[in-house]
Amino acid sequence: MKLISAASALLLAYLVWASRAWPLIHDAPLMHYIAWLIAQGAVPYRDAFDMNLPGVYLLHLAVLQLGGPGDLAWRLFDLAWLAATCGMLWAYCRPVGDRWAAGGAATLFALYHLSGGVWRAGQRDFLLCLLLLGGAYAVARGAAAGASAPLLVGGLVLGAAIMIKPHAALFWVFCAALASAGRRSIRSTARAAGIVLGTGLVAPALVFGWLASRGGLAAFLDVFAGYVVPLYRHVGRTSAVEAIRWHPFGRPLWSLLLLLGILALLAAPTLPVRKGLAAAGALYGTLHFLVQGKGWEYQLYPLALFLCALAPWAVSRLRETGWPRALDLWGSRRAVALATWVLLVIVLGAKGVDAREPDWITAKAARVAALTHDLGPLVPAGATVQVLDTTSGGIHALLRLGLRQPTRFIYDFHFFHDVGDPRIGALRAELMAGLATGRPAAVVVLEESWPGLGYERLAAFPDLARTLETSFTLAITGRGYRIYAKRSDS
């Protein structure tokens, strides 16, 4: 295990160095833009139509306030968050066996993160991991010691996790159930679970209280009840098998990670609460990915985290109990686990090298730079610009230029699905009204969209296409974008 951990650490150092110049790109600029709007006095959901919870905006707002909107601040934040998560993973795994296995588990998760490439930096599901593991760690300590203070901390941290992704509420419930492990009475069992559940409500109460004080609570409820739950959750759904198939190195990576997790579950039942929480986390991570149904690679972060947390059990030297003969390859479960771990590090290394400078990221960065250059001179001081895009760089250009939009729509995909639904009709009408009254200096249409629509999508929105034709002129056609400038006579 020492040799594996040392080799993994060298690979990790290389990937950290290779990632030093990673820019702010893809999803992160969207959250940065909303955070920037909030700093300008805008209200989430009322002034920025988005599907995320407000905790995400507050984290990005903190980064903007402390480090500014540049690439370096974002890179440092991502690496610092990764270091904190790995430190928590080491602390969680340290009692299982030797420090090399705990360090190896932390390194394994760091390799998983960095091997994903620049677009996964600071992704919401990655940010979630520190809070999930921190909550599990506190609950494990509280359950082992029969103490209330760690359970209180665990509940607070897990409540904060829910403000990043609402799906974390499921793991919060799992932790509350396991917090009472070993309690000798129904009263103490209920008290332990109640502490975790009760304190888990504190962060949501504070965050939604802040949102209500800004006047955004009603808009939040409208976005989630009127769009996210009934409509958005059905858009772009794909099966888990198909998703893993098109993820880079997806099949070998997840085959090895899952095998390591299975070997850990078959190992000697030491530290049952800690192991049970990690197993519950792996179950939660599976549901976290399946329930969202989009198949995006970053949604696998919680599953990867807790499989890494289970890994030290797979290589522990403790006496086996009930190791199945049919699985006793090469003499022991530990030998199989060590071989699996080695192969996993090799796969992560290959994936990390492959993801260093992908063409699509290079193209996106160039598009953002070109669009920023072309758009700036067309927009007078104080004017607005409407972007029709998803993650192709339009909003990123507005962030760089410090420009606002005449409407709250930072994406356009919700105008092109379920078009017969009156709720989509209402969103379309709101956009058209905003363009009419806001009189933007330009409208930017990005060619790439989601799920897979090009410029031809405008034909499916006749009112918008007609407005672009009659009130704007095609001023610039760039690589992957079109800029429509406002006609002086319109």
- Predicted confidence (pLDDT) per residue in 28-60, tens digit: 999 999 999 999 999 999 999 999 999 999 999
pLDDT at 329: 44
pLDDT at 321: 46
| Cα four-point dihedral sign 334, 335, 338, 344 | negative
For residue 331, pLDDT beyond 60: no
pLDDT at 182: 65
pLDDT at 415: 96
Q: 56 with 76: CB under 8 angstroms?
A: no
Q: What is the pTM of this model?
A: 0.94
Q: 1 with 101: CB under 8 angstroms?
A: yes
Structure token digits, residue 137: 């760690």
Task: Place 97 in a pLDDT band, splitting at 50, 70 and 90.
Answer: confident
Task: Place 454 in a pLDDT band, splitting at 50, 70 and 90.
Answer: very high
Least confident range from 98-107, 341-350, 379-388, 436-445: namely 98-107
Q: In sequence order, what DSSP letters do the residues of 359-388 get, joined into one string? A: HHHHHHHHHHHHHHHHHGGGS-TT--EEEE
- At 472 the three-state DSSP class reads strand
Cα 263 to chain centroid, rounded = 28
